[in-house]
Each structure stands twice: as C-alpha cells, then as structure tokens.
Chains A and B, each alone.
Chain A
Amino acid sequence: MQNHRVFDPYDFTWKFVEIWGFIFMKLGILFSGGKDSTLAAWIARREGYEVNCLISISSENKESFMFHVPSIERTAKQAEAMGLPIILKKSKGEKEVELKDLEEAIVEARNKFGIEGIVTGAVESVYQASRVQKICNRLGLECFNPLWQKDQIELLRDLVKEKFEVIVVGVAAYPLDEKFLGRKIDEEFIDEMSSLQEKFDINPAGEGGEFESFVLDGPVFERGLEIASFEDFGSGNSWRREVEVK
C-alpha cells in the first residue's frame, strides 16, 4: 500500500508553496504534437503552473535523435486549438546544430513570454533529456520532465483516462504496418500493444521509435481538431501519415 500524503490539496506544504508563489511559474512546453509532450503540458497545467507557450523544432532530418518528425508542422494548428502561442523553428537536424537551434528557440520563448522553465515529454531517452537539461542549466531555467521513467502502459492508460484523442501517424517496427496509421489510442490499442510487447519486445508507448502519434483533442485543448485530409507514405513496417487538420 502506498500512502501519498503529498497529494492532499489542503496539505501544508503546498500552501507553503502557494504562499511563496512558486506554483505559478511560467513554463514553455517543448512540443512535438505527439502524445508525450501534450500529456506533459497537461500535467503542468493540472498541477497549477502557467503554460505560456509551445516551442517546436521542425527538423529536416527524418533520422533526428532529438525531435520527432511526422506531422510536426501541424503543431501550429494544435497551438491555435490550445489557445497558446508557438515558437516554430526549422532545423537542418544535424546532430549538434539542432541543439543550437533548440537553444535559440528557448531563448526566444524566454524573451517573448518570460518563461522560467521548460517542460518536456521525455520518458526514457537520456540522450534527449540530458541535452535539454544542459541547455536549461546554461540559461538558468528550470527543466521539468513529468513523464520521466513512467511505465509505458500507465502512460497510455493516462491518455485514455484524461480523454485525449490521439492517433498513430507513423510506424517503424515489425509487426506494425500501414493498418496502424490513423488508429486511435484507446483500450483496444493498449491491449494490442501490451500483447505485442510480450511477443516482440516492442515498447508499448513507442519509446523506441516504434510509432509516432498526433494529438487531436484533450483537456489542454480549447477546441478539438479534425482530420481534413491525409496521405500515406511508406512500405513494409515503415509508414508515415501526413495529415491536414482543421
């Protein structure tokens, strides 16, 4: 049994925090348009923080280790649906240059929106998380990773519980194929991914790049998005869906 006294809303500690004003820290979300960064944004807002802007890097390198690629330019539409400004920066996606591009985007967010911290959707990737930590440390910003080390099935279940509408827009691992494109993350999807995890050792939330997701709606949105059109590209177990949303 786990006794979580820290979550009592009337708890003295959090009253102390409120009195000292820390709870209203202004944050920027490092945003890919996928499930992890969107869920991280929601957790920050749910915990009382002020989400001031989104920051997205559009990488031209489809093999980028830092940034997710499918549908990233649709993040502007997502930002509009969330009622948030977005800093969208293009990057050639070369290994260390893209970090410089990210740092410039974060500096722009700090200057324009007065953010005091960055939130990421990092779960397992030390490569991504440690590089963002280093940038934030250099800039004197807090760095928050609210999904860090989270169990992947728990993460998927949280999305369903919090009523996020998330679809698959890319696959890159056997036995995932074009039939997964457009699939919603729901209980049936979670059961299937759980079963594939047992059979093929797949990361059920796609942490190893097995699939990419796109969020259409959820508690952090002011209005939901709809798919206007889409086009699929790929073969075998490597597919992506380019979506137009309205």
Chain B
Amino acid sequence: MILVVNVCRERLHYYEFVKPVLDILKDCDILVSHYLDLKQEDLAICDKVIICGTSLKDNGFLENMDKFSWLKDFDKPVLGICAGFQILGLTFGGKAKKKTEIGFFHEKFGSEFLGLKGEVEVYHLHNNYALFGDEFEVFSPRDDSGEPAGDEVVQAVKSKGKDFYGVLFHPEVRNKEMILEFCRL
C-alpha cells in the first residue's frame, strides 16, 4: 500500500497537487491522508510514502514541521515532491532558500534517478527550495562532466542511507513514469 500525504492548506488544491498523483497510481493500493491527520498505524501499514506538493503561496507546512518528525525514524521508501522535497531537506538539517521557478525547464541528471537520466524537461512551480546536508546525494543539477553543479538550485536528491527521494519539480505533470518507477522499488 502506498500512503499519499496531502500537505495543502487549501481544500481546493487537493485537485491540483494530490489527485494527479492518485490518477497515476490508479492501479495501486492507496491510502490518502492529510499531514495533520497522519496516524502511526497509517505509517505502519504502508509500504511506501509519497509527500505531494502544494501551491506557490502555501507555506503552511513550514509552520508545522514537527508533524513530519516521523521521517527521522522511518525506514520505508519515501518520495517528496516540491513541498515534500523541502520537508525532507528541513527534517534532515537542511535550509530553506528562496527561488521562484514556474513552467518548463531542462534539468541535467548524472547517473540514473528513478528512470531519469541526461537532460530532462520538468515542470517547476515553487518559490522556495531546500539545501540538503551530507546525508543526501545530489542527482541534479549536474554539469557536463557529470559532477554536481554546486551553485545551482538543487533539483533531485536521494538519501545515502535510506530510500528517500526528493524532487523539486512536479513529476505528476511531465515525468509521470518517474512516480511509477518509485512505486516499483
């Protein structure tokens, strides 16, 4: 069972940030929960967790970071999308940074990341991103030699010790197969 976590403050944003993910997972066994409602038994019965994104103006989850402390001891695969990416970063000692990116962008991946490799078109919708600590490996951006492009906005990370993946972009718009690849882990 895949637990899909809604972090939207606005009820109407469910249709834009959660439902498209559920549509991609239409053949999977799914449990949907708002992060303020998340129960220990939900985390116990699921096999994987996807933390969805939210709107440009919605930073409500940043005021409730204590609600994500369960991540510290969690050892099942997690995929954080946009807001979920920031939540992963902040939970593990990273820092929030401001950067607005809206629309299609091309991002470079070095080694394969949930099926993505080389230059990939992605859809961005964010005013913030996260800097990650040493516990995470940066998969994008990479420069032409395949090395991490240190001065650019971090786009995709994986935890070195766990199956925790984070993407700043919205794969439910342009990279749907990436979400299914995560589900196949």
Which of B14, B20, B55 has a CB less than 8 Å from the CB of A143? B55
> Taking the complex as formed, is A199 at the interface, i.e. its CB lies under 8 A from any CB of chain B?
no
Which of B32, B37, B57, B172 has a CB less than 8 Å from the CB of A4? B32
**CB of A64, distance to nearest CB on chain B (Å):** 18
Q: How far is the CA of A130 from the CA of B57 in the complex (A)?
A: 14
Q: How far is the CA of A148 from the CA of B14 in the complex (A)?
A: 10
What residues on A are CB-neighbors of B103 within 8 Å? Answer: 126, 130
Evaluate contact between A12 and B36: CB separation under 8 angstroms.
yes
Evaluate contact between A5 and B37: CB separation under 8 angstroms.
yes
> Taking the complex as formed, is A149 at the interface, i.e. its CB lies under 8 A from any CB of chain B?
yes
> Taking the complex as formed, is A222 at the interface, i.e. its CB lies under 8 A from any CB of chain B?
no
1/0 per residue, CB under 8 A from B, across A4-19: the answer is: 1110000111101100
What residues on B are CB-neighbors of A196 within 8 Å? Answer: none
> Taking the complex as formed, is B104 at the interface, i.e. its CB lies under 8 A from any CB of chain A?
yes
Evaluate contact between A148 and B16: CB separation under 8 angstroms.
yes
Which of B4-12, B69-77, B138-146 lies at the interface with chain A?
B4-12
Q: Could you tell me the dominant secondary structure of chain B's interface residues? A: mixed
What residues on B are CB-neighbors of A235 within 8 Å? Answer: none
Q: How far is the CA of A162 from the CA of B14 in the complex (A)?
A: 19
> Taking the complex as formed, is B173 at the interface, i.e. its CB lies under 8 A from any CB of chain A?
yes
What residues on B are CB-neighbors of A11 within 8 Å? Answer: 34, 37
Evaluate contact between B104 and A16: CB separation under 8 angstroms.
no
User: How many of chain A's residues have a CB under 8 angstroms from any CB in B?
Assistant: 39
Interface residue tally on B, bucketed by range: 35 or more
Which of B16, B18, B23, B57 has a CB less than 8 Å from the CB of A151? B23
> Taking the complex as formed, is B30 at the interface, i.e. its CB lies under 8 A from any CB of chain A?
yes
**CB of B162, distance to nearest CB on chain A (Å):** 25
1/0 per residue, CB under 8 A from A, across B110-121: the answer is: 000000000000
**CB of B63, distance to nearest CB on chain A (Å):** 12
Evaluate contact between A47 and B16: CB separation under 8 angstroms.
no
> Taking the complex as formed, is A182 at the interface, i.e. its CB lies under 8 A from any CB of chain B?
no
| A147 in contact with B15 given A126-B104, A126-B123, A134-B102 (CB within 8 Å) | yes
| A133 in contact with B56 given A22-B9, A126-B173 (CB within 8 Å) | yes
What residues on B are CB-neighbors of A142 within 8 Å? Answer: 10, 55, 57-58
> Taking the complex as formed, is A49 at the interface, i.e. its CB lies under 8 A from any CB of chain B?
yes
Return the chain B residue nearest A16 by Cβ. Answer: B36
Evaluate contact between A149 and B20: CB separation under 8 angstroms.
yes
What residues on B are CB-neighbors of A43 within 8 Å? Answer: 12, 15
> Taking the complex as formed, is A227 at the interface, i.e. its CB lies under 8 A from any CB of chain B?
no
**CB of B17, distance to nearest CB on chain A (Å):** 8
> Taking the complex as formed, is A91 at the interface, i.e. its CB lies under 8 A from any CB of chain B?
no
> Taking the complex as formed, is B125 at the interface, i.e. its CB lies under 8 A from any CB of chain A?
yes
Q: How far is the CA of A141 from the CA of B57 in the complex (A)?
A: 8
Evaluate contact between B12 and A144: CB separation under 8 angstroms.
yes
Evaluate contact between A47 and B11: CB separation under 8 angstroms.
yes
Return the chain A residue nearest B58 by Cβ. Answer: A142
**CB of A151, distance to nearest CB on chain B (Å):** 6
Q: How far is the CA of A14 from the CA of B13 in the complex (A)?
A: 13
**Would you give 23 A-B contacts (Cβ < 8 Å), ordered by A?**
A1-B30, A2-B25, A6-B6, A6-B18, A6-B32, A6-B34, A11-B37, A12-B36, A13-B36, A16-B36, A17-B10, A23-B11, A49-B12, A133-B56, A142-B58, A143-B55, A143-B56, A144-B55, A148-B20, A149-B20, A150-B15, A150-B20, A151-B23
